[in-house]
Chain A
């Protein structure tokens, strides 16, 4: 049977299990939108294509399935770019489908023509330009396979309008012919043996648990390995949730705003087991002084991550779950009594400085708010964030027990990620409680998606931490620029009124005694709800490793806060 290129696209999407796409129609993808009406796929009309990209990303992160976003050519496609870069940096399995002008017009600066495959080349795992209808099936099949296999990532398909319209024989390809793409699975036995030798000798080991643990579905085997070898587990920002925060071996988050005891453990370790993480500069501090006494075993599916930032003594390239499963029977049970005692000591010092042990001072602190939210939701909600201070506080105080519930833009650090990714996550897990914790700055970047949330009646709870500042930049200016505040003071609108204009129930919270009530109100009201918290304006996230400092050279919160 002959089908149009657009129909073939939907045939393929349905076969890939796509139930929802996030997008925006326009001139160059109208045949796709027309064909869509005949297929059982729910389309979410966003207000800006960046929102669509983050929604697809959030959907992918919360479900582990491929998220799909669509846009038209030119500005539609370029609006996706921030979202694609975000998905690329955090290895989120996503497929982006953009319309392109007629093949014969390409290169002629036609209306809404942009070189989308050129623009997205460095920010996609792979991309395609389709100029003929008979290419569609094969390309879509490959795109989904590439997006979700190996180290996942965004794949973009740019489809010329004529390829959407032309009719051709449709046959779903049985498999992908990708001679240059064979993600590694097992690591070689001899290399595993080398790793085991290091593990046996280690007195002070630490596991560094990254996003790859979740990508590979290695949470269980990681726990098994950690318990068997009695090795504490430090997590990257995106690794949060891959190992239960309440576990006695959990060290919490590492890095620039990581737990002090966690960073101290890494710096003093004699063996680091990097599981699906990439030694980003935000987790290593300055490389010259990073974990000087530690041997490094680096397990990653992406060979280009090996030796990229930190030289690995034993690299194991393969699927993390497979490699660790292979390792488990090769290792014994070990005691690291002294090491555990040392870590406990460091931890006690951190607890004494924790903002959680401060007495109530009548002000709203984001850390306290996040803690209240954690209590109210029993730590079980899906939580998305924007980027900045509130993100770090949420990472620090919303203790994640389960994977795929902590959605945050890590590598790219994209402000505006919070709200759209929460909407995407809700589509992936409609029965789960979904919260987005955002700052007043980032929220305004994708605030338009409030309309989308209303139109879809997305059950997403929005908590805006409003300090009338671009908080993290302000903190840096305070610490490193002698408190010369430059362009960080932000006059914000009345968020409650904005919510009400959308028909979203909302509350303003200014006092600690109103917090519980507001959270309960949000949880008990179906559909989107917005809470605005007027929080302490000039508070800093601690601990903090200044750029260029060693990981254990942290700025610590004073034990007793002096009030001005």
Chain B
């Protein structure tokens, strides 16, 4: 099953390597990984999608990410109400006569043509992974020349900003009132 994690990380050199290396070392497989800036300076946000056999494996990933010193926080959003999006650019082989057909087709998916060349068009599609997949299948018979995808980005719905803590990240049920942070000794 696919699991989706959001990780807030310090924007420092080598942090991506630390995260990627962790997946390799612990024998987990990354399906997609998207990194970018956030509303806070110095903080980057990663959306990581992996294939795990079960919740226990997902917990392992979450806990191991949490353990990295540069990872500020991490959350498994797989079962939380959230918005997930994937962006794809697809270059499709298209004679001038085929353009309108393609235009009609992609409109159904609220995608659009963003570049036109004599022999091809570039389609930009945004949506859930399923929706993007669906559109790709319809474009395939026409002739896909090239494709690039960002991988999923995710955000939970509702009033909570950024990361909403769920039980598990640090192994305990999350009871903020009872957690006493450790000061520098």
Contact = CB atoms under 8 A, between A and B. Distances in A.
Closest 10 CB pairs of A and B: A303-B171, A317-B171, A304-B63, A180-B72, A306-B171, A303-B63, A188-B175, A126-B69, A303-B170, A304-B64
Contacts of B63: 303-304, 306
10 contacts: A149-B182, A150-B182, A180-B73, A181-B69, A185-B181, A188-B175, A303-B169, A307-B56, A307-B59, A315-B171
B172 interface: yes
B150 to A, nearest CB: 25
A318 B171 CA distance: 9
Interface string B1-31: 0000000011001100110010001000000
Contacts of B134: none
Contacts of A300: 171
Contacts of A185: 179-182
A65 to B, nearest CB: 12
Contacts, number: 90
Interface string A169-181: 0000001101111
A529 to B, nearest CB: 39
Contacts of B178: 186, 188-189
**Chain B residues touching A, range:** 35 or more
A149 B71 contact: no
Given A145-B184, A303-B63, A186 B171 contact: no
Interface of A: 117-118, 121-122, 125-126, 129, 145-146, 148-150, 175-176, 178-191, 300, 302-304, 306-308, 311, 315-319
A178 B69 contact: yes
A183 B64 contact: no
B69 A146 contact: yes
Interface string B148-185: 00000000000000000000011111010011111111
B185 A184 contact: no
A182 B69 contact: no
A184 B181 CA distance: 7
Given A121-B18, A181-B69, A315-B171, 9 more contacts: A150-B182, A175-B184, A178-B69, A180-B69, A188-B178, A190-B173, A303-B172, A306-B63, A307-B59
A181 B18 CA distance: 15
Nearest to A192: B178
Contacts of A122: 21, 25
A180 B172 contact: no
A180 B70 contact: yes
B182 A302 contact: no
A523 B167 CA distance: 55
Contacts of B60: 304, 307-308
B140 interface: no
A318 to B, nearest CB: 8
Contact of A316 (B66, B70, B172, B185): B172
Contacts of B142: none
Contact of A184 (B14, B18, B69, B170): B170
Contact of B179 (A125, A178, A186): A186
Contact of A303 (B25, B67, B71, B183): B67
